[in-house]
Chains A and B, each alone.
Chain A
């Protein structure tokens, strides 16, 4: 049973560019959440997708957007990249939206903005 898979594993971009990160949830999971983890800090919630709609959003600007496909996979898009966007981007899937559901994380995409 494949867990959560993310691609690419590493990415280098320059300021002002746009990036798309991809996530395939664990089999049977319908909810996908995205997190940003800066070096030395805990993961910060970006947003969550369920039934192809953004259901909840953290304190991130509109430059961060996403999408969920009918097969429950998801993309995270970041426009107009800033140096401060350099971080590990984590995708997590769960059976539903509630806090009580276990989150299953992928290994993340390490984004470096130069």
Chain B
């Protein structure tokens, strides 16, 4: 599994865009990049997954540069309910997924 590095915490205000960058310098050719969101006392929830370039869904976008050594999760127009821990995972078919400490995003009114 590729090692990932994310900021420990980020603060934002309602209505702003939040961008969380994850570094994964030793990503392998067949690795995918996946992001999860976790609220207190709940299990993580899948947000988005990508391999290269850009992926967008109804709640987020994932930007992956050509060298794939990093990725950025973008949360447009955040609300208070987006306050959570966000995890970046990188891997392929070896499924020993362990989450790092993640990024705690705090959205203020």
Closest to A40 in B: B101
Task: Tell me if A90 is interfacial: C-beta within 8 Å of chain B.
Answer: yes
Report whether over half of chain B's contact residues are helix, strand or loop; otherwise say mixed.
loop
Contact residues of A between 83 and 99, Cβ < 8 Å to B: 88, 90-92, 97-99
Q: Are B93 and A92 in contact (CB under 8 A)?
A: no
A4, A40, A48, A103 pick with most chain B CB within 10 angstroms: A103
Which residues on A sit within 8 Å (CB–CB) of B97? 33, 45, 99, 103
Q: Are B92 and A58 in contact (CB under 8 A)?
A: no
Total contacting residues, chain A, CB less than 8 A: 30
Which residues on B sit within 8 Å (CB–CB) of A56? 94-96
Cα distance A105–B94 in the bound complex, in angstroms: 19
- Partner of A100 from B43, B49, B87, B101 at Cβ < 8 Å: B49
Contacts A4-B43, A99-B92, A99-B95 supplied; 18 other A-B pairs, CB < 8 Å = A42-B98, A43-B44, A43-B98, A43-B99, A45-B96, A56-B95, A57-B96, A58-B96, A58-B98, A90-B44, A98-B95, A99-B31, A102-B49, A104-B46, A105-B43, A105-B45, A107-B42, A108-B43
A residues within 8 Å of B by Cβ?
4, 33, 35, 40-45, 48, 55-58, 88, 90-92, 97-100, 102-108, 110
